[in-house]
Amino acid sequence: MSATGTARRLSINQWTVRRASIPELVSAAVGAGVPAVGLWREALAEFGVADTARAVVDAGLRVSSLCRGGFFTDPEPRAARAAHDGNLRAIEEAHDVGAPVLVLVAGGLPAGSRDLAGARERVRDAIGAIADAAAAAQVVLAIEPLHPMYVADRAVVSTLGQALDIAEQFPADAVGVVVDTFHVWWDPEVLAQIARAGRGGRIASYQVCDFPTPIPADVLLARGMMGDGHIDFGPLTSAVSAAGYRGDVEVEIFNQDIWDADPSGVVRLARERFEALVAPFLDPAAEDAR
Amino acid sequence: MSATGTARRLSINQWTVRRASIPELVSAAVGAGVPAVGLWREALAEFGVADTARAVVDAGLRVSSLCRGGFFTDPEPRAARAAHDGNLRAIEEAHDVGAPVLVLVAGGLPAGSRDLAGARERVRDAIGAIADAAAAAQVVLAIEPLHPMYVADRAVVSTLGQALDIAEQFPADAVGVVVDTFHVWWDPEVLAQIARAGRGGRIASYQVCDFPTPIPADVLLARGMMGDGHIDFGPLTSAVSAAGYRGDVEVEIFNQDIWDADPSGVVRLARERFEALVAPFLDPAAEDAR
């Protein structure tokens, strides 16, 4: 299949087909007519940054983002320094693999700490310490607010408004935000905050996946294929589009059943669901302009 | 033990000791020197409203709240009518049992619906339809925002700000909000919204319980005893106190291990943890004034 029509802005995030190697991911994307991929640092470490970049370019694909930097909240100086250095390396890797965006997950409360406000301040400070390096590398740091159920153990940045409060302290070519439907759909302020993000040119990435219930025993694997949960992708996608976002739309799903399935079939299904539930709400003028 | 000193504003919510009957709840509260109880309609239905009121008064206890009304989101006319009538009965029961507050849980998305905005509008309208009855009965309807992980299947009201947006459309003696630490602690706006609620005289109930991780397989039972999770009760309690709240502080915990434990021991532990972690942040002047 070729990446025509409504699939032209679709990207498959590597973690959606977590078992797939880089060559398998590339092959599944090409086979399903998906023109872009979101990559993870774990896979780069395994296959090599240069080899990955070559495999992607040779297949005619784009890289939409690299996941992920962040984990900024540990106050212990040695751990904070290691996180800082790791994030600088992540920026370099994003540049080298051709990813315009590095996704940042804030990190949770440090072990034994209940100082949520303090952890949130450290996130802001740590992003400030890498913003110049990101701008120099032409990589946008994309702060991803995670669903509030992950605030203790994964990300102290919980809403789009909070992510924008941080991002707006830095130039828009250095720091933006991720709008991930799974994480933000519940937020009564989400449409207003998407519009705010658009006004500032802050939407660095738009990711789609669904929120099914019941939430599984491992809450990190609570995501579902679009159409399998409670999210109405129309209003969110229309808002992101109206906010001026013209980049790739990544399908990123952490789900054991999907991980256990054949990667090529998963990517084909992601394209079908994307074309049915998401693409109709993207700006057609932006499609034509690509 | 007598309800002296820092336990004078403590209330034990019945669902914390769910297996206990009304007499057992009353006995456990008296035995632990806890001066108030929060009741549930299920228990009233079983033991009788008048008998419950008598048992509580005879024991020298207060009723801090009745749980719960709400579940406003079903658009089907017959279901909506049944919910309305049920809520009117709940207001009467709250009045008859001496509860100054009826806690409202909004309800989730109707089966098969993805119209979150529509469900939220119905909550506002349905509260409007019972507000006068509540004021006439001198019962404050307390909208409880639930943690966003429950938005699909339990409550489409997810933040304190959203609850206040609804409550402020009605007189403060008819509609207020519940501040429950478990549901709101993650919210970057929580302290500002508590202050807003205080300015409008909208804090109808303050409930405390903790947020442990990992979240259990049944997410409805994710709550923990104060001190067993990630919540810092100081800043939240200080904010509620500074906002002018002078009512009872309810311990409401849904947790299988706690339900399996001896009710009297649970109530004693709740008092200990309350005195250590919550009471020091309540306004001492308010204590003296009771």
pLDDT digits (tens, 9 = 90+) for B92-133: 999 999 999 999 999 999 999 999 999 999 999 999 999 999
Entry field: residues in chain B: 290
A216 to chain B nearest CA, in Å? 6
Residue A250: what pLDDT?
Answer: 98
Pairing of strands A36-40, A10-13: parallel
A11-24: string of b/e by CB count within 10 Å (b at 16+)? bbbbbbbbebebee
pLDDT higher than threshold 80 for residue A208: yes
With an 8 Å Cβ cutoff, is B14 touching chain A?
A: no
With an 8 Å Cβ cutoff, is A285 touching chain B?
A: no
With an 8 Å Cβ cutoff, is B229 touching chain A?
A: yes
Integer Rg of chain A from CA: 18
- Closest Cβ opposite residue A114 in set B153, B187, B230: B230
Which amino acid, one-letter code, is at B86? G
B219 to chain A nearest CA, in Å? 7
Entry field: residues in chain A: 290
> Tokens standing for A113?
């700490």
Using CA atoms, how far residue A279 sits from A10, A100, A236, B173, in Å, is 9, 22, 12, 48
Rounded CA-CA distance B178/A70 in Å is: 34
Say how far residue B87 (Cα) sits from the centre of its chain.
16
Q: What are phi and psi of B172, to 5 degrees?
A: -70, -20
Using CA atoms, how far residue A70 sits from A141, A165, A218, in Å, is 9, 17, 22
Tell me the per-residue pLDDT of A247-256, one tens digit each, with 9 for 90 and over: 999 999 999 9
Mean pLDDT of the A56-72 span: 97
Residue B289: what pLDDT?
Answer: 42
Residue from B164, B181, B215 whose CB has the most chain A CBs within 10 Å, to mutate: B215
- Closest Cβ opposite residue A213 in set B115, B153, B187: B153
Q: Quote the mean pLDDT of chain B.
A: 95
- Closest Cβ opposite residue A148 in set B115, B186, B231: B186
Q: Quote the mean pLDDT of chain A.
A: 95
- Closest Cβ opposite residue B109 in set A189, A215, A230: A230
Mean pLDDT of the A252-268 span: 95
Residue A254 in contact with residue A223, Cβ under 8 Å? Answer: yes
A149 to chain B nearest CA, in Å? 6
- Closest Cβ opposite residue B213 in set A117, A120, A152: A152
Residue from A109, A190, A194, A219 whose CB has the most chain B CBs within 10 Å, to mutate: A219
> Tokens standing for B39?
């009741």
- Closest Cβ opposite residue B232 in set A114, A148, A217: A114
| CATH architecture type of domain B11-283 | Alpha-Beta Barrel (3.20)
Residue A6: what pLDDT?
Answer: 83
Q: Bridge-partner residues for A176, per DSSP?
A: A142
User: Nearest to residue B141, comparing CAs of B159, B168, B181?
Assistant: B168
- pLDDT band (50, 70, 90) for residue B283: confident
Rounded CA-CA distance A165/A44 in Å is: 31
Q: How many CB pairs under 8 A join A and B?
A: 80
Angle at alpha carbon of residue A64, lines to A63 and A68, rounded to 5° = 100
B125 to chain A nearest CA, in Å? 17
With an 8 Å Cβ cutoff, is A116 touching chain B?
A: yes
With an 8 Å Cβ cutoff, is A162 touching chain B?
A: yes
- Closest Cβ opposite residue A148 in set B115, B147, B231: B147
Which of the following CATH numbers is that of domain A5-289: 3.40.1350.10, 3.30.420.40, 3.40.190.170, 3.20.20.150?
3.20.20.150
Of A205-214, A281-290, B42-51, the least confident:
A281-290
A181 to chain B nearest CA, in Å? 13
Report the 10 Å Cβ neighbour count for A80: 17
Residue B5: what pLDDT?
Answer: 72
A59 to chain B nearest CA, in Å? 38
With an 8 Å Cβ cutoff, is B232 touching chain A?
A: yes
Residue B171: what pLDDT?
Answer: 98
pLDDT higher than threshold 60 for residue A289: no
Task: Count Cβ atoms within 10 A of the Cβ of residue A83 and give its class: 0-12 exposed, 13-18 middle, 19 or more buried.
Answer: buried
Angle at alpha carbon of residue A133, lines to A132 and A139, rounded to 5° = 100
Residue B183 in contact with residue B161, Cβ under 8 Å? Answer: no
- pLDDT band (50, 70, 90) for residue B290: very low
> Tokens standing for A178?
């991720």
User: B213, A151: Cβ pair inside 8 Å?
Assistant: no
- pLDDT band (50, 70, 90) for residue A2: low
The DSSP string of chain A is ----GGGTTEEEEGGGGTT--HHHHHHHHHHHT--EEEEEHHHHHHH-HHHHHHHHHHTTPEEEEEEEEE-----SHHHHHHHHHHHHHHHHHHHHHT-SEEEEE-B-PPTT---HHHHHHHHHHHHHTTHHHHHHTT-EEEE----GGGTTTTBS--SHHHHHHHHTTS-TTTEEEEEEHHHHTT-TTHHHHHHHHHHTT-EEEEEE-B--SSPPSSGGG--B-TTSSS--HHHHHHHHHHTT--S-EEE----HHHHHS-HHHHHHHHHHHHHHHTGGGS-HHHHHH-
Chain A residue numbers with beta carbons less than 8 Å from the beta carbon of B216 are 217
With an 8 Å Cβ cutoff, is B111 touching chain A?
A: no
> Which residues have CB under 8 Å from A108's CB, separation 6+?
A73, A119, A150, A151, A152, A153, A154, A155, A156
Chain B residue numbers with beta carbons less than 8 Å from the beta carbon of A230 are 109, 114, 116, 152
pLDDT higher than threshold 80 for residue A183: yes
Rounded CA-CA distance B223/B155 in Å is: 16
Nearest CA in chain B to A149: B149
> Which residues have CB under 8 Å from A70's CB, separation 6+?
A87, A103, A104, A105, A106, A107, A155
Tell me the per-residue pLDDT of A216-233, one tens digit each, with 9 for 90 and over: 989 999 999 999 999 999
Residue A288: what pLDDT?
Answer: 45
Residue A286: what pLDDT?
Answer: 58
pLDDT higher than threshold 50 for residue A173: yes
Residue from B113, B185, B189, B230 whose CB has the most chain A CBs within 10 Å, to mutate: B230
With an 8 Å Cβ cutoff, is A193 touching chain B?
A: no
- Closest Cβ opposite residue A159 in set B114, B147, B188: B188
| Percent of chain B surpassing pLDDT 90 | 94
Tell me the per-residue pLDDT of B260-274, one tens digit each, with 9 for 90 and over: 999 999 999 999 999
